[in-house]
Amino acid sequence: MRTISLTIAAVLLCLTISGHAEAHARLKAAIPAVGAIVSDAPQQLRLTFSEPVEAGAVVVDVGTSEGMPVGPTRITADPVDPRTIIVTLPTPLPPGTYTVQWSVRSEDDARVKGGYSFQVSR
């Protein structure tokens, strides 16, 4: 049991001296939500991640279900919530199904990516 304790202690020590944890960002919420059907045509998308992200480290591609790109025109950080980025589109989206492909580059240059769709109803 002494050996087990020493081993666990060594691991904990390595965890302690290595610095703070930096979990890679995952998408936690979106507006319009993942898979949602909305009636109001959005001109902005809001993506909230599990960790604070910089707007320059995020790439978001919005397209129609036929694969035609829609935008975005601008990606900015939410001034209130550092975990949220705002995607401003060129025009309010007309009715249809849209796909959002996102990727986030973390501090260690790893890139996490994902995608989802939502619908704008008539």
Partner 1 sequence: MRRLFFIPILAVLGLVPPRAAHSHAEAGARLFPATLTIDDPAVEDEASLPTVMRIRNGATDDNPANRESDLNFEFDKRITERLGIGISDGYTILDQIGDKSLQGWRNVNLTLKYQVYVNEPHEFIASVGVGREIGGTGKTAIGADRYGSTTPTLYFGKGLGDLPIGYFRPFAITGTLGYQLPDQTNAAPNVLNTGLSLQYSLPYLQEQVVDLGLPELVGNLVPVVEFATKNPVTGNGGARTGTISPGLVYTGDTYQVGLEAVIPATSASNTSVGVIGQIHFFLGDLMPKTLGKPLF
Per CB under 8 A, residues contacting partner 1 are: 3-4, 6-8, 10-11, 14-15, 17-19, 21-24, 26-27, 29-30, 33-36, 50-51, 106-110, 112-116
CB of 114 to partner 1, least distance (A): 4
Assess contact for 88 and 81: CB atoms under 8 A: no
* Nearer residue to partner 1 within complex by CB, 41 or 112: 112
Distance CA 99, CA 39 (A): 16
Strands 27-31 and 44-49: antiparallel
* Nearer residue to partner 1 within complex by CB, 30 or 58: 30
Sign (positive or negative) of CA dihedral 30, 34, 38, 42: positive
CB of 102 to partner 1, least distance (A): 10
